Chain A
């Protein structure tokens, strides 16, 4: 079993992370009038259906798109010299100082507690259509995995290779990769919780719930 208290102390020592917000593509950038030090909100609502605070507008081919804050935080740096400029893809436009929330701390600790199935190669990963359908219909928890089950598709060099799950049987508890994003070799793809350890995981969650107080 993992030492939750030690982990929590470690996180408490630096309870924030810096989020660099970069332009998703090229275009002309207009800031939304925020300043360094302002607090912004992440997506809101029960289903995160309301987008976060708008930081800037990126207009490309007469299609203005809002760039919104992905998480709650304080703007620690704003590249305001880019105002009105044409920017390349991946240009940083702001840095957020984001205090870790209970959910994130939980995710961090769970990553230690769950069985992680990691990426064998740097590639893009997708769930197989059947699994994807299940996840889209409800959520990842509904998918039970078995050793040797074909669960993911690894896509690289224009070739798609099915990936077989290796590890204990259980349910997918966490998904660590995003659609159409490259995952480095060795980075975790999914966190699996064996059925008999579900209660242990619940206990971890309880511990974090009680011992972590959100700040900021």
Chain B
């Protein structure tokens, strides 16, 4: 351990070579379900030992099975909750873990957790960006200001909390004027509490005369709720596509590369992603009203510029809004591995080879290995589609469905990767604690049409049956996914 401690500073600056060989590490998989399984598989591939955790509710989950089979001694511990960092630290110490992989959700973007992992007495490596970067990019105002300082486009509006009513009115007015000049039919202004988050304290204004009363309402709400009356005023963009850029860098933070773009515009009514496609647009197949190629290269360049500026040192995703006129605006940076990383991996070739595993790359670089390739070594081929199979009712506001899955089967194909923690050989009770995500299906095709066709083939072959206490049949979003496959990459 001491070797590690000496080397590991809180920025995790790596020297040229890995000081500790990969097989000397043990990673705590601080997550559940499908992502826990992917992390464990990547660990096995890399020859890194791992320790998984589970709660009593999850005892039947595939990730527990996998850990039992492949984890060996100290490979699996039951904890009271995935949300309790203390449990994870206690298990890590007991199992002798040297690093923690948070997956996505839970502690993935919690800079305090990352800080605790790297600053405690028995120090470990947080597989993800260093905590200062998580904190910096986790703050939307900070991110927006950083972007503007580098000339990266952001949503028009204020980039700092406004405390003065007159100033707020002036900015709101110029946001309205700005949209009129752009020829937008129905200009909208968004007023939100700068200290808020998660959709609280946000309101739209369509009438400039109404602004003052909305502003006051939000300001008073923010004062009561967050003890900070700062308010942000932005343009509300309604017609847009949601794009992302997959970035990865090693601990040096100097040579980030990207693994292309993704389009995540097919979402549920609650703005949750349901289908993700790589690459972000398909200008060779489809017609766009703007120069799509140009947009893709722009957002990639902007993302890497920012990554270089902050010394970004692990995987991350830059999320973008692209308007119908082809203007990109930076939305936020996700400082973690994302659910949909696999769809980028499936179209990527490093040194011309297939089988890119972004999670393995994340672990490898996270543990201090250099990236070992540059942007020139990365190419993309074909189109990838990822479907999220979820037990939910798309007709009823995507309400989660809870019950028992009795049959879960599909036709295997070489172009299909199925990622699931739901066992296919036994009935499975969906835990009520978590989202009812069942599986991720990643489909590859040489071009968009092939990918779409294969996607429909897969969805048609899928058998998913079950029932709940009341005897009602399982509800899933398969129909929604089928219906939306034709829409893919259209704008």
Q: Name A's B-contacting residues (CB within 8 A).
A: 24-27, 60-61, 63, 86, 88-90, 121-123, 156-159, 182, 185
Contacts of A122 in B (CB 8 A): 402, 432
- Find the A residue at minimum CB distance from B89: A61
Say yes or no: B435 contacts A26, CB within 8 Å. Answer: no
Contacts of A90 in B (CB 8 A): 56, 78, 80
B465-485 residues with Cβ-Cβ distance < 8 A to A are 469
Say yes or no: A24 contacts B400, CB within 8 Å. Answer: no
CA distance A61 to B399 in the complex (A): 39
CA distance A213 to B72 in the complex (A): 54
Say yes or no: A157 contacts B87, CB within 8 Å. Answer: no
Say yes or no: A26 contacts B91, CB within 8 Å. Answer: yes
Nearest Cβ on chain B to A179's Cβ, whole angstroms: 14
Say yes or no: B86 contacts A61, CB within 8 Å. Answer: yes
CA distance A25 to B55 in the complex (A): 10
Interface residue from A26, A63, A123, A182 paired with B79 (Cβ < 8 Å): A26
Contact string against A for B residues 408-435, beta-carbon threshold 8 Å, 1 for contact and 0 otherwise: 0000000000000000000000001111
28 contacts between A and B (CB under 8 A): A24-B80, A25-B80, A25-B87, A26-B78, A26-B80, A26-B91, A27-B90, A60-B87, A61-B86, A61-B90, A63-B86, A86-B90, A88-B77, A88-B78, A88-B79, A89-B87, A90-B56, A90-B78, A90-B80, A121-B469, A122-B432, A156-B400, A157-B402, A157-B432, A157-B433, A157-B435, A159-B399, A182-B57
Say yes or no: A157 contacts B90, CB within 8 Å. Answer: no
Q: State the interface size on chain B (CB cutoff 8 A).
A: 23
Contacts of B435 in A (CB 8 A): 157-158
Contacts of B84 in A (CB 8 A): 25
- With A26-B77, A26-B94, A122-B432: A159-B400 Cβ-Cβ less than 8 Å: yes
Say yes or no: A121 contacts B79, CB within 8 Å. Answer: no
Say yes or no: A158 contacts B434, CB within 8 Å. Answer: yes
Say yes or no: B400 contacts A157, CB within 8 Å. Answer: yes
- Find the B residue at minimum CB distance from A86: B94
Contacts of B400 in A (CB 8 A): 156-157, 159
Contacts of A24 in B (CB 8 A): 80
Nearest Cβ on chain A to B340's Cβ, whole angstroms: 19
Say yes or no: B87 contacts A26, CB within 8 Å. Answer: yes
Q: A26-B80, A157-B433, A158-B435 given; name 15 further pairs at CB < 8 Å.
A: A24-B80, A26-B77, A27-B90, A60-B86, A60-B90, A88-B79, A89-B55, A90-B78, A90-B80, A121-B432, A157-B432, A157-B435, A159-B399, A182-B433, A185-B469
Interface residue from A26, A156, A158, A182 paired with B90 (Cβ < 8 Å): A26
Say yes or no: A89 contacts B432, CB within 8 Å. Answer: no
CA distance A158 to B86 in the complex (A): 22
CA distance A131 to B469 in the complex (A): 29
Contacts of A158 in B (CB 8 A): 434-435
Nearest Cβ on chain B to A183's Cβ, whole angstroms: 10
CA distance A89 to B58 in the complex (A): 13
Contacts of A121 in B (CB 8 A): 402, 432, 469
CA distance A122 to B400 in the complex (A): 13
CA distance A60 to B84 in the complex (A): 12
Contacts of B77 in A (CB 8 A): 26, 88
Contacts of B432 in A (CB 8 A): 121-123, 156-157, 182
Say yes or no: B436 contacts A157, CB within 8 Å. Answer: yes
Say yes or no: B79 contacts A89, CB within 8 Å. Answer: yes
CA distance A61 to B86 in the complex (A): 7
